[in-house]
């Protein structure tokens, strides 16, 4: 009798575990550790369509935010497509992300090729009128670049900021990917030969980009992990041309990323529009597994 009861309890416990959200505090087996003192942020790219799929992704972001309380969202460019009138900022940004904005989540945008240059003055993008800027959160230095115009003053600024940065983590994000196996655009080699030497020299750990409307994680390139996360609104289904540099990818639906920096580890989890996890893992500050 006791053995049967124990068996039932085990089955029930198994069912309960399966139904639980994939991330909860204290579960080391879960993709994201969700530690109290860690830095948590989401990443979205090529999102600003104002159409239903963007709203679906935004809904998933809100659902996950209730379990994994990220403080900020990094935007990888093409934050608004098409018309960029004040009403468009409402339809393509403020309305879909309203629950997050209401919860105090801050968005830090970079500019894509579809963004008007003047969008850097939009207060909710937190760019303070600068098309490239930097900020620090906990022990992470974020570098936000404008790859539409990677001019000499910007390059000199990047070197100056990285040289002076003393934070444990250095993360760069911008619109055009230095590495990508997206079929439509692919790697922006002209930008890569300018930026990669600086990133390597000054120890940038992780780089996030959009532009290709897919999700891709690349195998570390010269010690740096590159993500392409350009499918948070737009999608180019089947556009990922897998190569030996593709560590993981997803091109069947929209997606967004959740990230957590805890000590020497950066945990990431990629969620699709329907809420399923399509990639996850951890990047150690020196090397990746």
Partner 1 sequence: MSRSWRDALAYYPLLPIGALIALVWANTASDSYFRLAQALAFPVNDIGVAFGIASLAQDVVEALGPGHALRWRTVRLPIVIAIGGILGTAVAYATYLHFTDEQILGDGWRIACGVDVFVCVALARLVFRRRAAITTVILFAVTSDAIALILVSRRPFATSADAVALSLIVLAVVVSALLRRFGARSMWGYLAFAGPIAWLGCYWSGLQPALALLPLVPFFPHAPRPLDDLGSDLHEHARLSHFESVFAYPLQAVAFLFGLTNAGVLLRGIDTGTWAVLTASLIGRPAGILLSAALFRDHLFRWKELFVIALIGSVGLAFALFLSTSVFPEGPLLTQTKLGAIATLAGSGIAIAAARALRVGRFA
Q: Which residues bind partner 1 (CB under 8 A)?
A: 81-84, 111, 113-117, 147-153, 176, 185-186, 188-194
Q: Kindly state the smallest distance separating residue 188's Cβ from partner 1, in Å.
A: 6
Q: Say how far apart CA 91 and CA 76 lie, in whole Å.
A: 19
Q: Which is nearer to partner 1, 66 or 116 (CB)?
A: 116
Q: Kindly state the smallest distance separating residue 157's Cβ from partner 1, in Å.
A: 12
Show Cβ contacts of residue 85 under 8 Å, excluding neighbours closer than 6 positions.
Answer: none
Q: Kindly state the smallest distance separating residue 124's Cβ from partner 1, in Å.
A: 20
Measured torsion, CA atoms of residues 165, 170, 173, 179, in degrees rounded to the nearest 10: 120
Q: Kindly state the smallest distance separating residue 278's Cβ from partner 1, in Å.
A: 26
Q: Kindly state the smallest distance separating residue 78's Cβ from partner 1, in Å.
A: 9
Q: Which is nearer to partner 1, 33 or 77 (CB)?
A: 77
Q: Which is nearer to partner 1, 30 or 75 (CB)?
A: 75
Q: Which is nearer to partner 1, 197 or 275 (CB)?
A: 197
Q: Which is nearer to partner 1, 98 or 117 (CB)?
A: 117
Locate tokens 């590159």: which residue? 226
């Amino acid at each position: 009798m006791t053995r049967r009861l124990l068996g039932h309890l085990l089955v029930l416990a198994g069912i309960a575990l399966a139904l639980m959200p994939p991330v909860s505090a204290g579960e080391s087996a879960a993709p994201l550790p969700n530690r109290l003192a860690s830095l948590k942020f989401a990443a979205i790219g090529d999102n600003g369509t104002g159409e239903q799929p963007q709203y679906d992704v935004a809904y998933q972001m809100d659902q996950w935010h209730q379990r994994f309380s990220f403080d900020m969202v990094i935007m990888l460019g093409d934050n608004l497509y098409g018309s960029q009138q004040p009403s468009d900022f409402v339809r393509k940004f403020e309305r879909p992300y309203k629950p997050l904005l209401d919860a105090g989540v801050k968005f830090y945008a970079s500019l894509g090729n579809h963004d008007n240059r003047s969008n850097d003055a939009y207060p909710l993008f937190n760019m303070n009128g600068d098309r490239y800027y930097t900020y620090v959160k906990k022990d992470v230095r974020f570098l936000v670049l404008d790859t539409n115009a990677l001019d000499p003053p910007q390059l000199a600024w990047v070197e100056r900021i990285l040289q002076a940065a003393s934070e444990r983590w250095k993360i760069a994000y911008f619109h055009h990917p230095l590495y990508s196996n997206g079929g439509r655009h692919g790697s922006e080699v002209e930008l890569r030969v300018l930026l990669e030497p600086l990133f390597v020299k000054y120890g940038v750990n992780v780089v996030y980009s959009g532009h290709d409307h897919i999700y891709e994680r690349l195998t570390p390139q010269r010690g740096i992990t590159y993500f392409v996360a350009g499918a948070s609104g737009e999608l180019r289904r089947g556009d990922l041309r897998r190569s030996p540099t593709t560590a993981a990818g997803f091109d069947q639906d929209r997606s967004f990323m959740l990230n957590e920096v805890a000590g020497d580890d950066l945990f990431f989890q990629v969620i699709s529009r329907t809420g399923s996890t399509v990639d996850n893992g951890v990047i150690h500050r020196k090397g990746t597994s």
